[in-house]
Amino acid sequence: MFSRGPLSCAKDDMIHCLRWTVFLWIVNTIPFTSGMTVNERIENKDHTCPPMKLEDKWDTNVNIHREFTGFDLAEKFLLRKGTVTDNRLLLRLGSKPLFKPTESVFPNGISHEYSIIATFRLRKTTKKDRWFVLQIFDQDGDTQVSLIVDGAKKTVEFLAQGFLRNSLLYVFKNRDLHALFDRQFHKLGVSVESNAVSIYLDCKLIERQVTAERSGMNVSGRTFITTRVEDGRPVDIELQEILIFCDARIADLDRCCDSPGVTCEPVVTHNPTAAPMVTGYLHRMLSMPAQLPTDQCHCPTLKGDQGLPGLAGHSGQKGDKGDMGLKGDPGPQGLPGLKGDKVEQQAQKGDQGPPGIPGERGDAGLPGQPGAPGKEGKRVSKPKQVAACVGWIHVAYMYL
């Protein structure tokens, strides 16, 4: 019977071989499971992440009864509690850069798959800022992980480090993210899986992107939170919580039961009796009759992993014509026009006109200026003077 392996057993001996396989497994595990129940044996805890002390609301938000593991970054960075606004206890960020050695924040690093949850409200003066929700540097100053909120572009960016120390950047530009910048409280969730990154806003899936393989974390660098990209100072926001869960499903399972107007049913927890010891099943397992292959297994249904996003839907119908837009600003001054051609026109000389009519006799002119004294005349005798005067009088009479 032992000369042939389980894979070579005939169909009739399959159940018999299976019983011996179970028996040998029980014999080998009894020394290590003494005093442990079945439920305790199959439990597999991630020792990288410590248990978290959270408010009772998280048991209702996630709707599962389990122990949360991860990191409360507000506690790690010793953020003091501030005022209460809209029934929310806010945290004080101060004015100094918020950074610590990564080893003091994540002593053993972060699990390869995790969720980031941050609840905050932007102010009027910072809604267009570009800032880090989380940024983890290695010892050489290279970014290993960062989550960036860009108010000017209304986008969310996730950056990780690949195996070749190359940067893997994923930008989420979905228009549904614009609500994050309306100066109201919102919960931003990020699910980081081994091959995908998903963004959630107020517990609703906004966008999912497939990623390349990421490298592990080096805890020798520094970790920053809520830091402006421009100058490294804390961003001016109203922060309620900033958490990292060592489970990528938390961002998807969160129901935002603590949000105003959201009502969630409480989690129903069961307290079954303690399971019997493994050794208690030995006699029952070996004495069970073989079942026919036609028997159906009545196994509990387990929830499967989340499927990939579906294909894009058909294009919608053409919308109605929009209203007339506002009058635009005046345009720039136009270029000068081309120089025109010069037109030259030469006048022709006309014919000579007829003689004019004789003009009337003009008025007497003004008396002339006295003439210059004449030369001294010759002296004549008196009779000659008389004769000369008579001659001049005669001449003058003739002209009158």
The mean pLDDT of 333-353, rounded to a whole number, is: 60
**End-to-end CA separation in angstroms for the chain:** 187
Q: State pLDDT tens for residues 250-275.
A: 999 988 887 877 777 765 555 444 44
CATH number, position 208? 2.60.120.200
Structural contact between residues 226 and 121, judged by C-beta atoms closer than 8 angstroms: no
Q: State pLDDT tens for residues 101-127.
A: 999 999 999 999 999 999 999 999 888
Beta pairing, strands 196-201 & 186-192: antiparallel
**Any domain includes 249:** yes
Torsion angles phi and psi, residue 227, rounded to 5 = -120, 135
**Any domain includes 367:** no
- Read off the tokens for 383: 């009779």
Q: What's the pLDDT at 377?
A: 67
Q: Which residues pair with 71 in a beta bridge?
A: 244
**Any domain includes 112:** yes
pLDDT at 341 over 90: no
Residue 389 or 38, more confident: 389
How many domains in the chain?
Answer: 1
pLDDT at 52 over 80: yes
CA 145, CA 162: separation in Å to the nearest integer?
10
pLDDT at 165 over 50: yes
**Any domain includes 212:** yes
**Any domain includes 358:** no
**Any domain includes 229:** yes
Q: What's the pLDDT at 263?
A: 74
Q: State pLDDT tens for residues 201-254.
A: 999 999 999 999 999 999 999 999 999 999 999 999 999 999 999 999 999 998
**Any domain includes 218:** yes
Helices of type H across the chain = 14-29, 38-42, 57-62, 73-76, 102-105, 250-253, 282-287, 382-399
- The residue type of 358 is P
pLDDT at 284 over 70: no
- List all residues 6 or more positions away from 188 whose beta carbon is below 8 Å from its beta carbon: 116, 117, 118, 119, 120, 133, 149, 156, 180, 199, 200, 201
- List all residues 6 or more positions away from 162 whose beta carbon is below 8 Å from its beta carbon: 168, 212, 213, 214, 215
Task: Give me the domain span that covers residue 173.
Answer: 94-237+244-253
Q: How confident is the model at residue 63 (pLDDT cuts 50, 70, 90)?
A: low
- The residue type of 396 is A
**Any domain includes 261:** no
CA angle 192, 198, 203 (to 5 degrees): 110
- The residue type of 89 is L
